[in-house]
């Protein structure tokens, strides 16, 4: 556990957000000025392998890193400004895929992304 890794972990800890690697880097630099982008990428990659942080790809821009890894959830994304909310749809989407639609796959995961316009963007 180096100072660099601690800082990256701190940036993500507790905050219920979805930051890009560059945003994590910017916040890390505020605490440890000389931390490099490469180290931020390395550390984020390790946290993802450890299951402490999730990668979220709601658009084709930068990946976002989600520290809310222990409570399963899905995402609601504003198509205009990119704002992201954690959501918990009812039911179990996995159970909604009949065997006849599984083509022999061993299905292990399902990811649901809702899209729409957020209140801010609706007002503007």
Residue ranges binding a second copy (CB under 8 A): 57, 60, 63, 76, 78-79, 85, 87-91, 93-94, 96-98, 101-119, 122
Q: Is 52 in the site for DNA (CB under 7 A)?
A: no
Interface residue with DNA, options 19, 43, 53, 76 (CB under 7 A): 43
User: Cβ(63)–Cβ(20) under 8 Å?
Assistant: yes
Nearest by Cα to 54 from 116, 115, 111, 117:
111
Nearest-10 crossing angle of helices 37-49, 21-31:
110
Q: Is 118 in the site for Zn ion (CB under 5 A)?
A: yes
Considering the complex, state which of residue 3 and residue 93 has its C-beta at the smaller distance from a second copy: 93
Q: Is 86 in the site for Mn ion (CB under 5 A)?
A: yes
The phi, psi pair for 28, rounded to 5°, reads -70, -40
CA 89 from centre of chain: 17
Interface residue with Mn ion, options 12, 40, 47, 66 (CB under 5 A): 66
- 82 to 101, contacts with DNA by CB under 7 A? none
- Per-residue binding string, DNA, 4-23, x by CB under 7 A, is xx--------------xxx-
| Partner touching 85 among Mn ion, DNA, a second copy, none, CB below 5 to 8 Å by kind | a second copy
Q: Per-residue DSSP letters for 38-67?
A: HHHHHHHHHHHHTTSSEEE-SSSSS-EEES
């Amino acid at each position: 556990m180096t100072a660099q890794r601690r800082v990256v972990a701190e940036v993500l800890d507790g905050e219920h957000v979805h930051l890009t690697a560059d945003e994590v880097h910017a916040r890390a630099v505020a605490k440890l000025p000389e931390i490099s982008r490469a180290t931020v990428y390395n550390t984020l990659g390790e946290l993802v392998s450890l299951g402490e942080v999730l990668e979220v790809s709601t658009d084709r821009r930068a990946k976002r890193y989600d520290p809310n890894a222990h409570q399963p959830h899905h995402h609601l994304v504003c198509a205009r400004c990119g704002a992201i909310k954690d959501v918990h749809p009812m039911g179990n989407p996995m159970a909604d895929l009949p065997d006849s639609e599984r083509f022999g796959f061993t299905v292990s995961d399902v990811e649901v992304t809702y899209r729409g316009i957020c209140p801010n963007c609706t007002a503007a």
